[in-house]
Structure formats: C-alpha cells, structure tokens
Structure 1
Amino acid sequence: MRIGRIGVSAAAGARERGTAVLWIYRSDADGRLETVPEIERNTWVHLVDPTEAEIGRVAGALGLPADFLHDPLDAEERPRVEKDDAGVLIILSVPYPTAGDPVPYRTIPVGIIHTRDVLVTVCRQDHPVFRAFTAGQVKGFYTHMKTRFTLQFMFLVARYYLHYLNDLNARIVEAEAALQRSMRNQEVYILLNINKSLVYFTTALKVNRGVMQKLTRETYMKMYEDDEELLQDAIIEMQQALDASDIHSENLSNLMDAYAAIIQNNVNTVLKILTALTIILAIPTMIASIYGMNVPLPYQDSPYAFPVLMGISTLVGLSTGYAFWRMRLF
C-alpha cells in the first residue's frame, strides 16, 4: 500500500510557512523517527490542516471514509469514538494557546485513526503534543504501536491541560492584584476572558473523560496489561485536570461576585456622600435664596446681617454634617 507523497524537504518548508502539510513517519529499530516519502505498513501519517486533495489521497490509499478525515477539522466537533470496517476514529479536544485573542486558551479537536497497518492523526494545527512525539521526547513510542501512541497522547493532553490551568490560575492572581489597586474595567474583562477559557476546558475535559472511560468498557483497540494501566493513568490525569478546572472556575466566579459586590458598595458609598453634601449645602442655599429676593426682609439694613446669616448657615451646615457623621454616612 503506497501513494506518492511530498518529500521530506518540502514538508519541512511547509511547516515553516504554516501551510497545509502531511508528514509520514516510521520508527527505526532504535525507536528513532524518520520521515518517508510514501505511506507504508507501520507508518504514522500526520495531517495538519490538509487540503481536499491530501484528504482524498490518504482516504483512497487507506480505504477510509472521507468523514474520518474531515470531522476532526471541524472546530465544533465533539470528542467521540467511532468504529467501522475501515478502522477506528477517536476524536479528542486538546487545549492550545491563542495568539491575538483576548481569550488566552481555547480547545481544538484532534482525530486519531487506527487502520489495520497505519496510524493517522488529523488536526487543524500542529499541536505541541505532536511535536513531543516527533522530537523524541516520548519514551517507548513506535509508529507500529498504535494503541500505545493513543494512550500516551491522551496522557500528554491531560498534562497540557494541567499546565495551562496553572497558567490561568497565575493570570487570575495577577488580575486580582491589579483589581485591588484599581477598579478598572480592563481587569474585569481579563477575568471574563479567563472564565471563557475555563468553560472551554471544563466542557472538553468532561467529554474527553467520557471517551476514555468508553475505551475501558468496549473493545475498540487491542490493549495489553501495560496499555490498560496507561489508560487508567491517563483517566486519572484527565480527572485531576477536570477537578482543577472546576476549582479554578468556582474560585473565579466567587472572585467576580465579590468584586461586583465591592463595586456596588463603593457606588452606594459615593451616593450617600453626595446626598449628605447636597443636604448640608441645601440649608445655606435656601437662606441665601431668601435674602436674594427683591422684597423687604428682616435686618436687611443691618450692617451685621451678612456675617450673622453666614454664621447661622455655617453653624447649621456643621451641625448637619456632624449629625450625618454620627449616623456613619461619611
């Protein structure tokens, strides 16, 4: 089973330019990955944002339904496991940092396809988890061990969720410190965007966990005892990430509620002060308004009228202010 494919140098150039690419890897006897020009038995076909032509060539060569390769490219696709005569499709949601987006992290679907002789992965982006495999950072990985790759991939995805959750928690602490110094809208928007990332994470982690638990109940791929232990470890890591996401979400929700209450209390305090000042100034204003009328008034011809009226106004204002202070309106 072979199809024509871009050479190694062309694939590397495409990686640098960020265009749609397809890599074909094969492990040597020592476990080192090497790129090969054609799909062969026991190879790993890795597609990143593939074109329709690439999808058609891979699907035709491996006898896969085109939907197996199209579905992971849909940003709204939910994690699931699907099996037919051509192979097994496993879709997981993986986290990734955004660039130029107010929301720091989002999730993206990744497809892992098991055929009889070839492993296929499909994603819209070249995620760091894949680069961990291609860089030789994952021990015990061989391209012919499709089940082991899938379980190791799940475990690493859970680790990335935990890593990004730690970063989100640090951002929350930083925004909280900024809010304590000032009540600007910018920090509130930062917290809202972090909350969006946590919502994406929580939703994805719950469905990922369901997919992994389904693999323990039904036979989608052959697993040995070591594989079953690795799957259980991956489920535990995914559950820990879900618990951490829930905790951070609850803490962030409580934090935003607390600051909303603080802001409302500050507004109420300002309104009380303004109301008290208005009442204090209303009495001198009333006296000045009365003596500003163009009608005969008591003591209007007295040389002491102005200082007496000013003294009375000041005394009444101070008395009113003192009464408000006793009532804790200031």
Structure 2
Amino acid sequence: MITVFKSEERGIRQLDFPALEPGCWINVIAPKGDEVAALSSLLNIPADFITTALDPEETSHIESDDGILLIVINVGKSATEYEFDTVPLGIIITAHHIVTVSLEANDILPQGVVTMGGFSTFKRTRFLLQILYKTATAFLRYLNQINRRSNQIENNLRHAMKNEELYQLFDLEKSLTYFSAALRSNRVVIDRIMRLLQNPQMREIIKMREDDEDLLEDVQIEYNQAYEMVQMYSNVLSGMMDAFASIISNNLNIVMKFLASVTIIISVPTAVASFWGMNVGVPWSDMPYGFLFVLLLALATSALSTFWLWRKRML
C-alpha cells in the first residue's frame, strides 16, 4: 500500500499515487512487486533500497547511492500482552521527496509524526529527526509497559506454585533482548548521521537548521535514556527469574511439608482404631463407655502429635 502526503498552508493533503509532486512524503507499507517497480522508476531509487526494509531480520544501517540516502532503523511494537518485538523501518531521502518503507503498519507513522509540532513534508531532515525522536519515545513507552507488567507478575509470583508467571517473565526478558539490540544499532545510526553532517557532500541531502540541531540532541538524549533503561530492566528481570524460580520451589516445599504433617496427624487415630479393631482381647472391650475412651485416646494422641509438630515448626 502506498499513500502520498504533502504539507500545505491548510494542513496535510493526501495525493493519489502515482501523481507525485516535489516535497511529498510517500509512505509505503508491505508493497507488492509492481508497486516497488513503479516507485523505483518514478523516483529513480534503487529497488533494493525499498526491499531492504521489508526483511524482518534487517538491522539498522545507512546506505547512500548517487545522492539518495537510505536509513534503516528498528521500531518497537507490541506483539502480545507480554511479548514485544521490533520491525525495520526504512527512510529514503531524495533531492525532492522522502519515502518511508515498512513491512507492517506501526504507531510511528503516519499519525505519530504528523501530530508533532513543526511537521512539514518539505523539511526532509527535520522529518527524519522527528521519526527518530518518535521511535525513541515509543521504546520508552514500551519499556514502561514492560516495567508495569513485570511488577504485576512479581506480586503474583509471591504465592505462585506454577510456571505460568515464569513464562511471562521469560517473554518480557526476550523482548528486552530485542529492544537492546535494536537500540544499540539505532544509536550507531544516530552517530553515523552526525558524522555525515560534517561531510560537505552530504549536506546537500541532509540540510540542518538551528532547530534541527536541537532536535538531534534531543534524539540522542532519548536514545541514551532508552538504552540505559532497557539494560537496567534486563538485569532486574534476569535476577527476578532466578529468585522467583527458587521461591516457587520453596512454596511447593512448604505445601508438601504441610501435607506430610497432616498425614502424620491423621495416621495416629487410624493406628489407635486399628489396634482396637483386632480380633483379640483389648482393654475396655466389655465397658459401656469403651468406645468413648478409645475415641478420646485417639483425639488426645492426635492433639499431642499436632502440638509436637507445631513446636518443631513442621506445621
């Protein structure tokens, strides 16, 4: 699917593909083969620039070819309640257009960036930095969700004896691993962009203004914060999994100890009843209150067993 947007005085106008104008933003999501060929022909973009971002295993990097710049970053996404993943997002900057390519829709584009202040499809460099900034804030939002869900799991694990909560923690830890790899490679892309800005040839493609420099600094701060948070949460979750695995085992041992104590208490009156049930002479067999005496004896021995187990802290 290909959608085309252009900034105007009255707001954002959507154009019909393939009718393109200078200063347009072309948003491409899971394009078909003919759409890739048409877009490559219209904008003189190498076809592999478009298809690169469609590989779900693609890592963040920067390429340039004949005045066309390709920037691939990884964007976070929520797969399930306890699973998070990343998906590549390609940003292609030409002399007159900016193209974003993704394998699936995400919450970064288009609404996420369009609603940011100072958005304009003509300002390609600022648009790029806004995408990077929005991506960093999305990672921070997902990290906060992971933190809240890990706290919920922690409360449940204090009394748990099943492995379901551990599986949920494992999913969260795996998600943090994906986030860590994505943020690490995205930070490398940010550093590469800063080096490209010092290249006079690249300044023709990436034109920086004063407010763009401030936004680039904000992008760096957000990515550094997100990377530090993901490292911290990963260490915390790793320790939690080891600790709570022991807690679950300990909770199970406590239950087994309690059941063993109950079995001992119940077995005492059973033994007394077994002795008096023998087909031999037993005390009080001829007394009218013999059954009551036996019952009281069984209860007394059970009480003594319970008291002894309680004193030994086995009950």
- Please state which band the TM-score falls in when normalised by the shorter chain: 0.7 to 0.9
Distance 2:13 2:304 in 1: 89
Give, in angstroms, the shift of residue 276 of structure 1: 1.6
Q: Which residue of 2 aligns with 1:270?
A: 255
Contact 1:133 1:141 (8 Å CA) reproduced = no
Contact 2:113 2:131 (8 Å CA) reproduced = no
| CA separation of 1:88 and 1:57: change in aligned 2, threshold 3 A | same
Contact 1:165 1:245 (8 Å CA) reproduced = yes
| CA separation of 1:225 and 1:316: change in aligned 2, threshold 3 A | same
Name the amino acid aligned to 1:54: E
Equivalent runs, 1:157-236 vs 2, <5 Å: 157-177=135-155, 190-218=168-196, 219=199, 221-222=202-203, 223-224=207-208, 226=210, 227-236=212-221
State yes or no: 1:328 paired with 2:313.
yes
Contact 2:159 2:251 (8 Å CA) reproduced = no
Give, in angstroms, the shift of residue 57 of structure 1: 0.6
Contact 2:92 2:99 (8 Å CA) reproduced = yes
Match of 2:4 among 21, 24, 37: 24
The farther-off stretch of 111-120 and 296-305 is 296-305
Q: Which residue of 1 aligns with 2:65?
A: 84
Distance 1:182 1:266 in 2: 7
Contact 1:63 1:86 (8 Å CA) reproduced = no
Unaligned runs of 5+ in 2: none
SS in 1 for 2:23: coil
State yes or no: 1:34 paired with 2:17.
no
Contact 1:64 1:86 (8 Å CA) reproduced = no
SS in 2 for 1:130: coil
Equivalent runs, 1:1-330 vs 2, <5 Å: 21-28=1-8, 30=9, 32-37=11-16, 38-85=19-66, 87-98=68-79, 101-103=80-82, 105-132=84-111, 135=114, 137-177=115-155, 190-218=168-196, 219=199, 221-222=202-203, 223-224=207-208, 226=210, 227-294=212-279, 296-299=280-283, 301-303=285-287, 306-330=291-315
Contact 2:113 2:134 (8 Å CA) reproduced = no
Higher RCO, Cα 8 Å, sep 6+? 2
TM-score (norm 1): 0.78
Name the amino acid aligned to 2:179: F
The farther-off stretch of 184-193 and 36-45 is 184-193
Name the amino acid aligned to 2:69: V
Give, in angstroms, the shift of residue 192 of structure 1: 4.5
| CA separation of 1:134 and 1:80: change in aligned 2, threshold 3 A | closer
Distance 2:51 2:273 in 1: 81
TM-score (norm 2): 0.81
Q: Which residue of 2 aligns with 1:6?
A: none
Contact 1:31 1:141 (8 Å CA) reproduced = no
Distance 1:178 1:265 in 2: 15
* Cα deviation 1:160-208 (Å, max 9, x = unaligned): 2222322333334444455668777766655454444433323321221
Contact 2:22 2:96 (8 Å CA) reproduced = yes
The farther-off stretch of 220-229 and 124-133 is 220-229
Distance 2:185 2:173 in 1: 19
Give, in angstroms, the shift of residue 155 of structure 1: 1.0
Distance 1:239 1:177 in 2: 30
Distance 2:253 2:160 in 1: 17
Count residues with an aligned counterpart: 305
Contact 2:161 2:249 (8 Å CA) reproduced = no
| CA separation of 1:133 and 1:182: change in aligned 2, threshold 3 A | closer
Root mean square deviation of aligned Cα: 3.2
* Cα deviation 1:142-168 (Å, max 9, x = unaligned): 334322221221111111222232233
Name the amino acid aligned to 1:212: I
Give, in angstroms, the shift of residue 264 of structure 1: 2.5
